[in-house]
Amino acid sequence: MNADCLFCKIIAGIIPVKPLYDDAELIAIQDINPQAPLHVLIIPKIHIASLNDLVPEHDALVGSMFRRAADLARPRGYDVRGYRTVFNTGAEAGQSVFHIHLHLLAGRSLAWPPG
Ligand code: 5GP
Ligand code: ZN
């Protein structure tokens, strides 16, 4: 846990949330400022500041994050309609919380390239 990290505080229960999914390694929560009808953040319970800090030991964890996104999208019909999964890394990509999280966005037409 990083005492200055918003997502570590959520994971520690210091900031209460109602998770959509919670297990030993991950939590999935609704984004506080949703950019689509479904906007979920899939967050590992260990503090990793950004994709720049990944090491091979994280490979299974990151795989689980993507599989969790698919498992959250499927029962809502977005496996057919479509969805987007995004990691923002660094300032120009708009990363604002430096604890990795996978955005799952769905429920509207998503432009490409992104803004
Ligand atoms: P980033 O900009 O780092 O890719 O994404 C951070 C996301 O966290 C943003 O989409 C922002 O709306 C969301 N966020 C910021 N603070 C909170 C919070 O306290 N609770 C939740 N659920 N989401 C938050
Ligand atoms: Zn953290």
What's the pLDDT tens digit per position in 21-49? 999 999 999 999 999 999 999 999 999 99
SS3 content of the chain, % helix, strand, coil (to 5): 30, 20, 50
Q: pLDDT-based confidence at 10, cuts 50/70/90?
A: very high
Give the distance (Å) from ligand 1 centre to CA of residue 29: 10
Name the residues annotated as catalytic.
Answer: 101
Mean local confidence (pLDDT), 47-71? 98
Structure tokens at 66: 């993507």
Dist. CA 34–CA 49, nearest whole Å: 22
Ligand nearest to the CA of 43: 2
Give the distance (Å) from ligand 2 centre to CA of residue 9: 7
**Mutation test of ligand 1: which of 5, 11, 41 has the most ligand atoms closer than 8 Å to its C-beta?**
41
Dist. CA 99–CA 36, nearest whole Å: 22
Cα 52 from chain centre: 16
